[in-house]
Amino acid sequence: MNLLRLLAALLGLAPALLLAASLRCESHLISTGDSTHEVLAKCGEPVSRDLLGYRERRDDWGFHHELVVEEWVYGPRNGMYYFLRFEGNRLVGIDSRRVQ
């Protein structure tokens, strides 16, 4: 019985988890995996773009690559700021915070 409750709770959280990985810009939707070009085309220029540094990644063949890590900020939209994190020109995370 506890397993069924746990499963029901996890299924109830699924829509919230999906929303955390996407952001609506006007009539467009951006999601993790989108390129910087796609985000710019859909959302326009952010209010700030910060270079956070570099991240080393190993590909499937064992080669090392250095990826640029950036954070873009959009907002405020109804008191919310949206922080988009890019690694190697791909959107890897979307976070939002309310500013008072």
Averaged pLDDT for residues 51-70: 94
HEC sequence for 59-96: CCCCCEEEEEEEEEEEEEECCEEEEEEEECCEEEEEEE
Domains of the chain: 2-98 (3.30.1450)
pLDDT range class, residue 19, cuts 50, 70, 90: very low
Instruction: Give the lowest-confidence range in 12-26, 37-51, 73-87.
Output: 12-26
* 27-41 per-position pLDDT tens digit: 999 999 999 999 999
Cβ proximity of 72 and 93 under 8 Å: no
